Amino acid sequence: MWHFISEQVSQQIGKDFICDDIREVNSGDSHQAYKISDGKQRFFVKTNSKSKLANFEAEAEGLNHLQQTELFRIPKVICVGTVGDHCFLVLEHITMTSGNAESWYSFGEKLARLHQSQTQEMYGWQEDNYIGLTPQPNKWDKKWSRFFAEQRIGFMLQLLAEKGNRLANIDNVVESVQSLLNGHTPKASMLHGDLWQGNTGFHKQQPVMFDPAFYFGDREAELAMTELFNKFPQAFYDGYESVWPIEPEYAYRKTVYQLYHLLNHALLFGGHYVQSAQATIKNLDA
């Protein structure tokens, strides 16, 4: 496998690369990950079973679109493909560090600029993709309340029901979410889609993003995710507000946006995420 991947990398970078140092790294629960090197050049490689090729192709697509904005340091996609029973995604290797207050402020500024300047007329994306290992539908829709209620919350509840976890009456929850968001017509902003601290870092104090679940939607959905697991530092929000202030009504919508990610974690990991999602659903009509 590594000989084939080395050949693919060589073709893409236009010079010989033969990996003689392969080190597995911890990258969460979705894929196996490695840092490979020939002593001069390093790359980051994800592998999985061949059936997950579409995941890597969607990830590469999202990374490419985020990179084109030139606002963040985004790992460059080198190549994606299959070999034997495996699929792989090779990315530029970026050495990352934790940020300070100044770099987090810059992160917030850049994200606000991304949300403000990179927009579409409708919500969704030209193709479906994934959030982690979970399918994420992105059919274009002119109405945000319908898009989020059906393609985010309703779809995730259906996946859970198919696994035997029927948390609530799906139609009723979809109706409640649509009612809560009714009349809210946000700008359809380019979103990373899965923005938590585990998918961020800094390189020479420049903000880095990776592992996207790319689509166009309400910027508040992105901000809600940053508050859900290991909330971003306050400097990040100060930087964001300096460019594009957050609406006061965000506080009322935040919980329903976070529900999407709670449902995904309930689907992937079960446990207390199921109870958290159920509690949030019960409060929708409160």
Burial 61-92 (b: 16+ CB within 10 A, else e): bbbeebbeeebbbbbebbbbeebeebbbbbbb
Residue 211 known to be catalytic: no
Bridge partners of residue 33, in order along the sequence: 25, 46
Measured CA angle at 187 (ends 240, 175), to 5 deg: 110
Residues 6+ apart with CB under 8 A from 17: 6, 9, 10, 38, 41, 43
Place of tokens 């329903």: 256
The single residue of 21, 85, 128, 194 carrying the catalytic annotation is 194
Q: Which two tokens stand for residue 252?
A: 């009322």
Helices (H), 119-229: 144-146, 155-162, 170-181, 219-228
Task: Return the residue matching tokens 């207050």.
Answer: 101
- With a CB cutoff of 8 Å and minimum separation 6, the contacts of 113 are 71, 243, 244
3-class DSSP state of 39: coil
Query: Would you tell me how many other CB atoms lie within 10 Å of the CB of residue 22?
Result: 12
Q: How far is 273 from 278, CA to CA, in rounded Å?
A: 9
- For the annotated catalytic residues, the residue numbers are 194
